[in-house]
Amino acid sequence: MRVLFIFLDGIGLGENDPEINPLARAKMPQVNELLDGRSLIKNSAPFYGEQATLLAIDPKVGVTGLPQSATGQGILVTGINIPAELGYHYGPKPNPEVAAFLEEGTLFSRFVKAGKKTTLLNAYPPRYFDGIDSGKRLYSSIPLAVTNAGLPLFRHEDLFAGRALSADFTGAGWRTILGFPDAPGMDPHQAGRKLAALAKEYDFSLFEYWASDYAGHKQQMETAVGLMEIFDEVLGGVLEEMVDERGKMKEDLLVVVTSDHGNMEDLSTRKHTNANVPALVIGDKAARKNFTHNMKDLTDIAPAIWRTVMG
Ligand SMILES: [Zn+2]
């Protein structure tokens, strides 16, 4: 079965408190429908529904200190407890010790070796590659794992050709900030349909959404609420591509939404949190059951993706 992994940076399962938690404040009808009226908050997990499963999984993985992005994302693409191996959480970008874990044995390199089609669906702008080439910018863990597997990162040509998606889903950032006024624009629902359609061309694809962690660090409630409401509309578009005419889940795609650590769910702090993160799994019931079997922490995601794709 194909897997689409939607990675949301810095989203934990927090309290049902709209004063500090944008996920308790945002209008997210699609998530509510998937979870029988529940929101993406702590009290909602575990949940086993007709179309979706929600678990709370542990990003601390037995290591003291706040979970960080380089190690958290490293765990998600390797299944290795990198913080336990090193004795610390680390981020945002990988240091040489973390990077060593991403040289081989990631989901991307293993799927390539197994003859499976895999990709990172984000399109990156020219300034990103300029930063990498000049040494001013380091890859974060996920694109590092992708490039180490010998796979290309998508560029603006791919965005224009419809082979990749904008990191903000809609393309607004490309048209305003990145200097591509004629970049293709999509509303969030269309972006969701596009995301699912692209995912069906690959055995394993990943989409990385980093704006959520950024909004958490900036403690911007209105921005965070807006991001989550856009994400909910994206999810609606994804779902439309996943159900048949009778509203039953097709068996060709499993969607996994998870994170590397908490942050945005508690805007009373600009730091990451110790909260568990959501593992929201959408799709065929039997596939979800297999995917979430014995799932407890971040190290369980990569093996679950592997066995779902390999069958
Ligand atoms: Zn962060």
Each residue's pLDDT tens digit, 240-292: 999 988 888 888 999 999 999 999 999 999 999 999 999 999 999 999 999 99
Residue 57 has a pLDDT of 98
Tell me how far the alpha carbon of residue 66 lies from the centroid of ligand 1, in angstroms. 10
Residue 281 has a pLDDT of 98
Tell me how far the alpha carbon of residue 291 lies from the centroid of ligand 1, in angstroms. 27
Tell me how far the alpha carbon of residue 91 lies from the centroid of ligand 1, in angstroms. 8
Tell me how far the alpha carbon of residue 242 lies from the centroid of ligand 1, in angstroms. 31
Q: Which residues surround ligand 1, an ion (CB under 5 A)?
A: 213
Tell me how far the alpha carbon of residue 281 lies from the centroid of ligand 1, in angstroms. 23
Residue 247 has a pLDDT of 80
Residue 287 has a pLDDT of 96
Tell me how far the alpha carbon of residue 209 lies from the centroid of ligand 1, in angstroms. 12
H/E element holding 253? strand 253-258
Residue 245 has a pLDDT of 86
Tell me how far the alpha carbon of residue 211 lies from the centroid of ligand 1, in angstroms. 10
Tell me how far the alpha carbon of residue 103 lies from the centroid of ligand 1, in angstroms. 23
Half-sphere exposure of 58 (CA within 13 A, CB side): 11
**Ranges of the chain whose pLDDT falls below 70:** none
Question: What's the mean pLDDT when you consider all of the chain?
Answer: 97
Residue 248 has a pLDDT of 86
* C-alpha–C-alpha distance, residues 195 and 282, integer Å: 14
Burial of 223 (0-12, 13-18, 19+ CB in 10 A): middle
Kind of pairing, strands 253-258 and 2-8?
parallel
